Structures are given as C-alpha cells and as structure tokens.
Amino acid sequence: MGTSFTRTLELIERLHRQCLEVVKAELDRLAVRDLTSVQAVILFNIGRDEFSIGDLTQRGYYLGSNVSYNIKKMIKHGYLLQARSTQDRRLLLVRASPAGVEIHLALDSLFEAHASNELIRNQVSEDCLNRSNEALRNLHGIWASQSRAR
C-alpha cells in the first residue's frame, strides 16, 4: 500500500504541473503575456463569482501569500476588479473583469474540449473519472483531518 500511495502522490504533483503547462500553452496561443498559468487557473475558478481573498484561499486551496500576490498582479493588469463589501467595509472582494471573464471562458472551452474529445479518444470513461475523484476526495479528507488535528 505504501508504494501505491507514494506513486499516487507523485502522480498528483505531476498532473498539477502538467495542467499548468497546458494552461500556459493556451495562454501562449491566445498571446496573453501578462498572466501566469497559476493566475489563469485562479481566474478560471473565480469565474463570474465574487470572492474575498480568504475565500479564494479556502476554496481554491492556494497558499495565502501567493494568492495575495497574484490578486494584486491580476488587478494591476486588469483581469480582476476589487471592491469593498457592502456588509463589512473591512473586507475586500474581487471579481473577474471582462478580460478576466475572457480567460475563464477560454479555459472553460479548453477543458470542455478535453472532456469531450481527448478523454474519449484515450478511453478514459466517466466511470473511471468518478472512481478517481472518489479516491482523491478520500485522500483530501484524510489530509484535512490530519491538518486539523495538529
């Protein structure tokens, strides 16, 4: 079991890096030079919603200082808009600007094409993905409980 678990950890990290490479290639294709792949994934996850930086950290599982840095860069380059919450004036909320929504839609189309073309061509079934998702959710639950226990 230990060797399988170690291989799973290695694969998770490789998949994450490869996903960022695919996103970077799409940004290059779109001639977007002022956005990193990590920032593009943050925009993809924001979509058309509005979040506080704390919410992004919790929901997106990004490291806090990296989120703050990336948010500032995306605001500077016009991909995010920032406003104070009407309920709690201390809280800053961010949402995608029209340019940010364009990135979200481009990645959504890219991932949809992968789901409808590449997965089928490579014989990755929905059942296979569901089993993988279940295993990854279980790992997430184990690690979340471990981190809360400390």
Asked whether residue 150 carries a pLDDT value surpassing 80, the answer given is no
Q: Is the pLDDT of residue 59 over 80?
A: no
Any long-range contacts for 28-36 (C-beta under 8 Å, 24+ apart)? 30/106, 32/103, 34/77, 35/74, 35/77, 35/79, 35/103, 36/70
Contact 86, 96 (CB under 8 A): no
Q: Which two tokens stand for residue 126?
A: 């929905």
CA distance 63 to 81: 21
Q: pLDDT digits over 91-129, tens only?
A: 889 999 999 999 999 999 999 999 888 888 888 999 999
User: Bigger pLDDT: 108 or 2?
Assistant: 108
* pLDDT at residue 8 in the model: 92
Confidence band of 61 (pLDDT split at 50, 70, 90): low
Contact call for residues 46 and 56 (beta carbons, < 8 A): yes
Higher pLDDT among residues 132 and 1, named by residue? 132
CATH number of 2-149: 1.10.10.10
